[in-house]
Amino acid sequence: MDNTVGIGIIGDLPANRTRVLERYHRMTEIHISRFEAGEVKIARAPGRVNLIGEHTDYNGLPVFPMAVDRDIAAVFSPRADRRIILANTDPGFTERSFEIQELIPAYSTGDWGNYCKAAVQGLLDFYRQKHRDSDRFCGFEATFDGDIPVAAGMSSSSALVVLSALIFLASNGLDLHTTPSGRLELADLLARAEHYVGTQGGGMDQAISLMGQSGHAVKIDFFPLRTRSAPLPKGYSVVVANSLVKAAKTAEAMDKYNRRSIECRLAAAVLKKIFSETYRRDVPIFLFGDLKEEKLAVPDSEIWKISDSTFRGDPYTLGEIAAILGQTVEKTAQLYCKRRDGSIFPEPEGGFKLQQRYRHVIEEGRRVEQSIQALESGDILQFGKLMNQSHSSCRDLYEISCEELDRLVEISREAGAVGARLTGAGFGGCTVNLVRDNGVESFIRQVIKSYYRDYLRREDREYGSMLFPCRASDGAAVIGETNTRRDRI
């Protein structure tokens, strides 16, 4: 290896130190030759795999992900002007360049540069509220390199948002990311900031990318954001399998995702109306997560008696929902069915499935609590059972699975997984599997044969990027700099 660039590492490196250092070295050289930079810094933001709790985050109910040992890393250097230049070691992501300004115009939907713009715009808005105007910030140039499977439900997009935010902060001498409370504040603002790209997602991905802890999964609660780490079970591995169905954030995929969050908002509005009529006062329900005694001042047993019997199984037209809410169809659409760009989400053919979405989210939230109890009491089989139930609910009630994911989950259970489910937004992407350590090898062999070879009819030489065990890693950080004496390689 050319040893002209010294890399100093602050803190711990993920496992496989030599490979990781070689990667940073290669990135640094690419960066220095592209930008002629002198001193540079290195930062990383991990992807995640969600063990259980799907589509609960934006409904105010908990999730239970872990940050993984796959990440997006960047070598970067601040600039004296206000330009931001983004390079990528993957030639598929061509260079992007933009100026810091009050309102940064987005690239077209799905463009990788938008994830960086989202972070910068979010931070500019945040600091503007703190009376620092955007003129005071400098730009940066950065070279990115990622090994998180893209469009696979492992949150490569939020890792890019989080990483861009760290680069912006570090380039401007800001320290929001350096304390635990600052990291929570940052996670919270980046969750909102990511809506810039068009999805109306929750806050799981940004929070776990920042708050991940090596060897642990993290329970995340929302509104207000808080986290609690739980050690992963000894003797078991978390294995991720890519269905190879791309769940890209194109306009069409975004509409599928956003439809679910719109249905949840409509259902919550209906519940608010029913509870407010029953108790003859304004009952504060905005999200399914508000359905709790301390929030509503209604006994738990009453809450579930009313809410479980509110929705019928058949889907609703917007007209029917508007009639329940006592509003016009236009007002209902304006209040609950808006996309980020202000356009109205069209009424789905066949109607809004309020009961099914309500049941999935409420039961999934309970499964998260039960999973953590199971894990803490060492009942791993129960944990696996809850993962399996979660998959069925994602498939039947939330309708975010697909044929390939269902087949992959089936095969994985036959291959020995004690729990197997889709992970992330769904509509393709990865599954997460809990597998006994001593069964991982045969699990991998069997899934390669039954899913990739027999079912997908693929013959690849290398399956390591499709099917791999993950270790729980620490959250995003600025982890190194060049030309220091420490830890020179």
Active site residues: 205
Long-range contacts, stretch 273-276, CB < 8 angstroms, 24+ apart: 273/324, 273/325, 273/326, 274/306, 274/307, 274/310, 275/306, 275/307
34 CB contacts (<8 Å, ≥6 apart)? 87, 141, 143
Binding residues with ligand NG1: total (CB under 6 A): 16
What does the block give as tokens for 421?
Answer: 């489910």
Check residue 148 for interaction with ligand NG1 (CB under 6 A). no
- End-to-end Cα distance, the chain: 10
Closer to ligand NG1 at the Cβ: 29 or 185? 185
Smallest distance, Å, CB 134 to ligand NG1? 24
Site residues for ligand NG1, 295-324, by CB under 6 A, read none
Q: How far is the CB of 203 from ligand NG1 (least distance, A)?
A: 6
Residue nearest to ligand NG1 (CB): 201
DSSP states of 393-407 as a string?
A: HHHHTS----HHHHH
Between CA 331 and CA 371 the distance in angstroms is 40
Q: Which residues of 202-215 are buried (b: 16+ CB within 10 A; e: fewer)?
A: bbbbbbbbbbbbbe
- The candidate with the shortest Cα–Cα distance to 107, out of 191, 197, 199, is 197
Q: Does 14 bind ligand NG1 (CB under 6 A)?
A: no
Site for ligand NG1 (CB under 6 A): which residue of 114, 143, 155, 258? 155
Asked whether the beta carbons of 217 and 125 are under 8 A apart, the reply is no
Closer CB to ligand NG1, residue 46 or residue 480? 46
Q: Where are the beta strands (DSSP E) in 402-474?
A: 419-422, 430-436, 467-470
Distance between CA atoms of residues 341 and 128, nearest Å: 22
Residue 264: CB minimum distance to ligand NG1, A: 11
Contact status, residue 196 vs residue 121, Cβ threshold 8 Å = yes
By CB under 6 A, is residue 122 in contact with ligand NG1? no
Measured CA to CA, the distance from residue 429 to residue 152 in angstroms comes to 4
Structural tokens at position 235: 């003797």
Span 389-428, contacts to ligand NG1 by CB under 6 A: 424-425
Identify which range of 82-90, 198-206, 365-373, 380-388 contacts ligand NG1 by CB under 6 A.
Answer: 198-206
Min separation Cβ 57 and ligand NG1, Å:
5
DSSP state of 437: G
Binding to ligand NG1 in span 32-61, by CB under 6 A: 54-55, 57-58
- Contact between 365 and ligand NG1 (CB under 6 A)? no
Structure tokens at 435: 């597998």
Sequence-distant contacts of 337-345: CB under 8 A, at least 24 apart: 337/262, 337/266, 339/198, 339/200, 339/258, 340/195, 340/196, 340/198, 340/200, 341/198, 345/255, 345/258, 345/259, 345/262
In the complex, minimum distance from the CB of residue 144 to ligand NG1, in angstroms, rounded to a whole number:
17
Among 69, 71, 145, 205, binds ligand NG1 (CB under 6 A): 205
Is residue 204 close enough to count as binding ligand NG1 by CB under 6 A? Answer: yes
Q: What are phi and psi of 217, to 5 degrees?
A: -95, 165
Closer by beta carbon to ligand NG1, 46 or else 139: 46
Residues within the interface to ligand NG1 (CB under 6 A): 54-55, 57-58, 153, 155, 157-158, 194, 199, 201-202, 204-205, 424-425
